[in-house]
Amino acid sequence: MNIDQYRREILLFSLVGLAIVAIVAFFGQAYTLRMLAEAACYAILALGLTLQWGYAGLFNAGGMGFVAIGGFITMVVAFPVNDAFWGSEGAKALGFFLIEVAVIVLAVVGLTQIHRIGIRGKLKAVCVMVGLAAAFLFFNNELAPVAKLIETESGFIGGLGLPVLLGWILGGLAAAFVAYWIGKACLGLRADYLAIATLGIAEIIKAILKNADWLTRGTLTVSPLPWPVPTPNDIGFVAARSAYLALTAIMVAVIFVLLQRAYRAPWGRMMRAIRDNEVSAAAMGKDINLRRLQIFVLGSGLIGFGGAALISFARIFDPSGFTPLKHTFLVWVMVLVGGAGNNLGAIFGAVAVYIIWLMGEPVALLLFESVRELGSLWFDWEAPADLMTRALQARVFFVGLTITLALRFVPRGLIPERLNKIS
Amino acid sequence: MNELIFFVNKVLISGTIIGCIYALGAIGVTLVFGILRFANFSHADMMTVGAYIAFIFASLMPGAGALIGLPTGFVVLPLAIICLAAFAIVVDRLFYRPLRERKVRPVMLLVASLGVTLMLHGLVRLFAGTSPRSFFQDEKKDVFRFDVPFELASRDIVISEPQVLLIITSIVCIFALHWFLTHTKLGKAMRAMSDNADLALVSGINTEKIVRATWIIAGSLAAVAGTLLSLDVVLKPDLSFNLLLPIFAAAIVGGIGRPYGAIAGGLLVGFSETLAIFNWSILLRPSAEFLPEWIDIPARMAFVPTEYKIIVPFVILIAVLIWRPTGIFKGQVL
């Protein structure tokens, strides 16, 4: 580790510090605290992604899906109980439905074991496929009336009214559970296949959350989500957001320390060996697919956890609000710009990129306003009426440009991974 | 009888249409995947850009179509193809070639293609706004109705002009591509490179030339697919983002690096989708009088509700990855 790198890190972090001071001066404390609390949540997402991409070279293009799972589970766990639902016929119907689902799942699991009674090979595969299809159809048919009953009687099922932190942890676990099955199917193949599959699962999760009104109220959205700390209604914006920021900052610190230890441990060394040279790692007797699955599940769990914190902070669960841009690609920019494989880089990237992202909004508006002024002044140009919404949409362009430029000019990020060279 | 015609309209025709679109997209993806060795995420957005280029040309010369009797958007298609092929090469020069020259891992190119996707996304939204547009603002969309010569059939088989053009153009494109890949030196070199890059290099094939040809073909097919799709439905900026997963599924089902496989995969995914969201109770309803009374035919009997259409290509994709990662046509597993 050389002095240059330390100097560089100090310089970069002091630049971020200066930016924060300037934002406090211009936009006030409450806004800055909101920005920092969200940046802390994004830092958890970036740590999860840098674990997958930086430690193991796995390409996860489905961050949005895991964020959505985390947010959804938190909503279900922590939102106040909906008494109208629990007293209604819908609750009973849902109970019966869940029992039916349990029976179906048992039947399908039994079906996957039929090789024990002598049905093997292709025949077994056909049996399992037919069984799965039948189970899916049955599930669909049984769910529809129950969902309709709940929607007409009581709107949606509401939450369980449990502590928010429990919701975050369960959200992370649920994301890890989904990641396990995706990883099982794709991790034996090249990174591209995982990218395609995660992209797909993210869209599916969004579609389900958006359309399952009985579970999430769909486009009607659920709010206000509870906080693990006192909310602004109780103690005012500045105090409440400071408390939230403190909580998330502690979590970032804890995750950071644990990941740093893992990186230096034999486990981290093995992961880097697998990333850098799969064949020789396999020759040393490492179970590559199992290790990749491990790190993919762990990273996705972290993304789910961070997503839960992010959605809780917004206080509104809106399935249409999950966008690949904000919840997948922005995190990618943070990791690539910060430096893949370096946890400090991920945190730096999260804070710096999020500041730029938020500041991009007023800057873009200002820029386009002046373009319109000048255009009409000099060329009699009549700007389209939706120029301002277009200006905000155009931020996507800069996210993409940053990704390609970072790949080309700073391929290892602003705070690169530290390589210990043994001389 | 009417039910059967409904089936033809809703499944056979729509399935062929969407299957052709997926096939055209999947050929581009599979060629790039086979030769440049990365999954090109920006392909679907190239399709959108192609459609917008065609739209610009169409609005520059209104009435061009009326001279020949075809939709203007279709008449300007060659111009759009040229522009998009050139554009694809420029994008390659700017964003992919520098990375290739540094000999990075192929997955880095995939990250770069994500960046390109987002840039194209932003450009389209910036210059064209988010509201949908139609090629048929000033023109009439011709619709052909075929009367079925049966007494019980009172409905017609309906197919619109853009749909006919789409099917014909797809077939022409596929045959042209087949001829190119099997009868020209460049096409043979491309196939060689896709099968075994090292061997191709040793035998003196010019890599950059192949890469350029690949981008030209991928760009042209993207322009064709994007324009024809937006002629059939409407032109909107997120037109093709939903296409990405089915296109990848089609390419992988067909086997990476196998253009014919991509065609089969595209049709397979297209028909699976339409069959899965088709309401089967319409076909069963006429049989209701023969069934005992206690059997009720529900009003909706689809395998997958329309909102969850995207599940179909995903399930196909995962099933293929688990059981046969080479795809049905034995492509590569990279």
- The Cα–Cα gap between A229 and A160 comes to 18
pLDDT given at position B232: 86
B11 vs B331, more confident? B11
Share of chain B above pLDDT 70, in %: 94
In this structure, is residue A423 part of a structural domain?
no
- Do A144 and A21 lie in a common domain? no
Count of CB pairs separated by less than 8 Å, A with B = 149
The verdict on a CB contact (< 8 Å) between A393 and B122 is: yes
In chain B, count H helices and then E strands. 16, 2
Which tens digits make up the pLDDT trace of A313-325?
A: 999 999 988 988 8
pLDDT given at position B249: 93
146-175 in chain A: CB under 8 A from chain B: none
SS3 category, A276 = helix
**Where residue A33 falls among pLDDT bands split at 50, 70, 90?**
very high
Number of domains forming the structure of chain B: 1
In this structure, is residue B334 part of a structural domain?
no
**Where residue B161 falls among pLDDT bands split at 50, 70, 90?**
confident
- Do A112 and A166 lie in a common domain? no
Please tell me if residue A137 touches chain B, with a CB cutoff of 8 Å: yes
pLDDT given at position B212: 92
The mean-pLDDT minimum among A86-95, B15-24, B217-226, B246-255 falls in A86-95
The verdict on a CB contact (< 8 Å) between B41 and A203 is: no
The verdict on a CB contact (< 8 Å) between B114 and A401 is: no
- Do A274 and A323 lie in a common domain? yes
Which residue in A358, A369, A413 sits closest to A391, CA to CA? A369
In this prediction, residues A14-29 reach a mean pLDDT of 91
> How many of the other CB atoms lie within 10 Å of CB of B171?
12
Single-letter amino acid, residue A125: A
In this structure, is residue B192 part of a structural domain?
yes
**What angle do the packed helices A288-314 and A237-264 form, to 10 degrees?**
170
Nearest CB to B122 within list A61, A394, A404: A394
- Do A95 and A230 lie in a common domain? no
ipTM of the complex: 0.87
pLDDT given at position A422: 54
Please tell me if residue B280 touches chain A, with a CB cutoff of 8 Å: no
380-409 in chain A: CB under 8 A from chain B: 384, 386, 389-391, 393-404, 407-408
pLDDT given at position B162: 87
In this structure, is residue B329 part of a structural domain?
no
The verdict on a CB contact (< 8 Å) between A208 and B308 is: yes
Please tell me if residue A128 touches chain B, with a CB cutoff of 8 Å: no
Single-letter amino acid, residue A380: D
In this prediction, residues A224-253 reach a mean pLDDT of 90
In a 10 Å sphere around its CB, with 0-12 CB exposed, 13-18 middle and 19+ buried, how is residue A58 labelled?
buried
Nearest CB to B314 within list A204, A390, A403: A204
Nearest CB to A407 within list B111, B310, B322: B111
Q: Which residues of B46-60 are buried (b: 16+ CB within 10 A; e: fewer)?
A: bbbbbbbbbbebbee
Q: What are phi and psi of A267, to 5 degrees?
A: -60, -45
In this prediction, residues B233-243 reach a mean pLDDT of 78
Share of chain B above pLDDT 90, in %: 36
Radius of gyration of chain B (CA): 21
The verdict on a CB contact (< 8 Å) between A396 and B119 is: yes
Give the residue from A155, A176, A196 where a domain finishes: A155
Which tens digits make up the pLDDT trace of B166-199?
A: 999 999 999 999 999 989 999 999 888 888 888 8
In this structure, is residue B330 part of a structural domain?
no
Please tell me if residue A112 touches chain B, with a CB cutoff of 8 Å: no
Supply the DSSP symbol for A117. Answer: G
pLDDT given at position B151: 67
The verdict on a CB contact (< 8 Å) between B115 and A389 is: no
Per-residue pLDDT for B94 more than 80? Answer: yes
**Where residue B239 falls among pLDDT bands split at 50, 70, 90?**
low
In this prediction, residues B131-138 reach a mean pLDDT of 79
- The Cα–Cα gap between A30 and A327 comes to 23
Residues of chain B with C-beta less than 8 angstroms from the C-beta of A404: 95, 112, 115-116, 119
Per-residue pLDDT for A246 more than 60? Answer: yes
The verdict on a CB contact (< 8 Å) between A393 and B126 is: yes
Please tell me if residue A59 touches chain B, with a CB cutoff of 8 Å: yes
Residues of chain B with C-beta less than 8 angstroms from the C-beta of A320: none
In this structure, is residue A147 part of a structural domain?
yes
In this structure, is residue B331 part of a structural domain?
no
Of these ranges, A170-174, A273-277, A411-415, B249-253, the one predicted with the greatest mean pLDDT is A170-174
- Do A135 and A255 lie in a common domain? no
Residues of chain A with C-beta less than 8 angstroms from the C-beta of B242: 203
- The Cα–Cα gap between A362 and A200 comes to 33
Residue range of the domain that includes A95? 83-155
In this structure, is residue A8 part of a structural domain?
no
Per-residue pLDDT for B243 more than 60? Answer: yes
Per-residue pLDDT for A350 more than 60? Answer: yes
Residues of chain B with C-beta less than 8 angstroms from the C-beta of A211: 305, 307-308
Q: How far is A357 from chain B (nearest CA, A)?
A: 15
Nearest CB to A193 within list B303, B308, B321: B321
A421 vs B161, more confident? B161
In this prediction, residues B139-154 reach a mean pLDDT of 74
Please tell me if residue B334 touches chain A, with a CB cutoff of 8 Å: yes
Closest chain A residue to B334, measured at CA: A190
Closest chain B residue to A335, measured at CA: B111
Per-residue pLDDT for A173 more than 80? Answer: yes
B135 vs B24, more confident? B24
The verdict on a CB contact (< 8 Å) between B307 and A210 is: yes
Nearest CB to B116 within list A136, A393, A400: A400
The verdict on a CB contact (< 8 Å) between B314 and A201 is: yes
Closest chain A residue to B325, measured at CA: A189
In this structure, is residue A394 part of a structural domain?
yes
- Do A360 and A395 lie in a common domain? yes
Per-residue pLDDT for B333 more than 70? Answer: no
In this structure, is residue A399 part of a structural domain?
yes
Give the residue from A155, A180, A207 where a domain finishes: A155
Closest chain B residue to A203, measured at CA: B310
B154: its two tokens: 């009172």
**Where residue B331 falls among pLDDT bands split at 50, 70, 90?**
low
pLDDT given at position B91: 94
Which tens digits make up the pLDDT trace of B266-317?
A: 999 999 999 988 888 777 777 777 777 676 667 677 788 888 888 899 989 8
In this prediction, residues B117-144 reach a mean pLDDT of 82
Please tell me if residue A251 touches chain B, with a CB cutoff of 8 Å: no
143-202 in chain B: CB under 8 A from chain A: none
In this prediction, residues A298-323 reach a mean pLDDT of 93
In this structure, is residue B43 part of a structural domain?
yes
Number of domains forming the structure of chain A: 2
Residues of chain A with C-beta less than 8 angstroms from the C-beta of B41: 61, 195, 199
Residue range of the domain that includes B274? 2-323
Nearest CB to A408 within list B98, B119, B130: B98
In this structure, is residue B328 part of a structural domain?
no
- The Cα–Cα gap between A254 and B75 comes to 62
A209 vs A152, more confident? A209
Contact B314, B244 (CB under 8 A): no
DSSP string covering A314-362: HT-B-GGG--HIIIIIHHHHHHHHH-TT-HHHHHHHHHHHHHHHHHHHH
Which tens digits make up the pLDDT trace of A362-389?
A: 888 888 888 888 888 887 777 777 777 7
In this structure, is residue A5 part of a structural domain?
no
The verdict on a CB contact (< 8 Å) between A402 and B303 is: no
Please tell me if residue A103 touches chain B, with a CB cutoff of 8 Å: no
Q: How far is B227 from chain A (nearest CA, A)?
A: 23
Which tens digits make up the pLDDT trace of B56-78?
A: 998 888 877 777 878 888 888 99
Closest chain B residue to A60, measured at CA: B111
Residues 6+ apart with CB under 8 A from B245: A196, A199, A200, A203, B310, B313, B314, B317
In this structure, is residue A99 part of a structural domain?
yes
The verdict on a CB contact (< 8 Å) between B95 and A395 is: no
Please tell me if residue B248 touches chain A, with a CB cutoff of 8 Å: yes
Q: How far is B98 from chain A (nearest CA, A)?
A: 7
Q: Which residues of A252-279 are buried (b: 16+ CB within 10 A; e: fewer)?
A: beebbeebeebbeeeebeebbbbbeeee
Which tens digits make up the pLDDT trace of A250-272?
A: 999 999 999 999 988 999 889 88
Residues of chain B with C-beta less than 8 angstroms from the C-beta of A186: 318, 321
Residues of chain B with C-beta less than 8 angstroms from the C-beta of A397: 118-119, 121-123, 126
Average pLDDT, chain A: 88
Q: How far is A317 from chain B (nearest CA, A)?
A: 20
- Do A45 and A73 lie in a common domain? yes
Q: How far is B145 from chain A (nearest CA, A)?
A: 35
In this prediction, residues A24-53 reach a mean pLDDT of 93
Give the residue from A155, A172, A202 where a domain finishes: A155
Residues 6+ apart with CB under 8 A from A400: A329, B114, B115, B116, B117, B118, B119, B120, B121, B122
In this structure, is residue A3 part of a structural domain?
no
pLDDT given at position A85: 83
- Do A225 and A369 lie in a common domain? yes
Q: Kindly report the CATH number assigned to the domain that includes residue B188.
A: 1.10.3470
A121 vs A270, more confident? A270
Q: Kindly report the CATH number assigned to the domain that includes residue A183.
A: 1.10.3470
- Do A132 and A212 lie in a common domain? no
pLDDT given at position A15: 92
- Do A201 and A280 lie in a common domain? yes
Residues of chain B with C-beta less than 8 angstroms from the C-beta of A390: 125-126, 129-130
- Do A257 and A149 lie in a common domain? no
A156 vs B155, more confident? A156
Please tell me if residue A19 touches chain B, with a CB cutoff of 8 Å: no
In this prediction, residues B195-220 reach a mean pLDDT of 89
Contact B246, B64 (CB under 8 A): no
In this prediction, residues A161-169 reach a mean pLDDT of 92
Scan for tokens 């992010």, then name that residue. A310
The verdict on a CB contact (< 8 Å) between B107 and A211 is: no
- Do A45 and A180 lie in a common domain? yes
Nearest CB to A329 within list B39, B118, B334: B118
